[in-house]
């Protein structure tokens, strides 16, 4: 910082020069802080993410379609199930078949995630290895 100590006759003069040294010091400190923190923030774990592909699949007759309605009811090939226990017992019977059929889950877009999660958990409890989700492709255009 510069201080003007000289004695002049008019000490009431307005100094029109701006001292930019503190401004430059603050800007350099901020620049150094940003240069140090940016590589830390952008550092992520290297993960090989799956590629998106939307291919129409042929439904095999042995596949089982589970539909979850808006209210949370579960349907086994258009037949309404009594509850989660009924679903688990049916899935356990199917899981011992060779080859094991694929379970295809069709969930209503307004269904709660909890309802879909219960179906996936029931498949896990029964030992089902293949679970697929059926979706509608977005409209073209």
Cα–Cα distance, 116 to 131 (Å, whole number) = 12
- Assess contact for 126 and 120: CB atoms under 8 A: no
Per-residue model confidence (pLDDT) at position 60: 72
Domain boundaries, the chain: 64-133
As averages over each run of 10 residues, the pLDDT of the chain (141 residues) reads 58 77 92 83 68 66 87 90 90 89 89 91 91 78 59
Which 3 state secondary structure label does DSSP give 9?
coil
| Selection from 46, 45, 85, 80 nearest residue 66 by Cα | 80
Domain 64-133 classification at class level? alpha beta
Cα distances (angstroms) measured from residue 81 to each of 75, 86, 96, 97, 138? 6, 7, 20, 21, 30
Q: Which pair of structure tokens corresponds to residue 7?
A: 């004695």
């Amino acid at each position: 910082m510069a201080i003007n100590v000289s004695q002049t006759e008019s000490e009431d003069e307005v100094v029109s020069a701006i001292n930019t040294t503190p401004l430059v010091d603050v800007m350099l400190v901020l620049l150094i802080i940003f240069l140090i923190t940016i590589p830390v923030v952008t550092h992520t774990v290297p993960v090989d993410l799956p590629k998106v592909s939307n291919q129409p699949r042929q439904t095999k007759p042995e596949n089982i379609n589970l539909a979850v309605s808006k209210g949370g009811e579960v349907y086994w090939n258009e037949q309404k199930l009594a509850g989660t226990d009924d679903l688990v017992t049916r899935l356990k019977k199917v899981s011992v078949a060779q080859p094991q059929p694929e379970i295809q889950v069709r969930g209503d877009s307004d269904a709660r995630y909890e309802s879909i999660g219960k179906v996936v958990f029931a498949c896990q409890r029964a030992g089902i290895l293949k679970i697929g989700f059926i979706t509608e492709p977005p409209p073209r255009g």
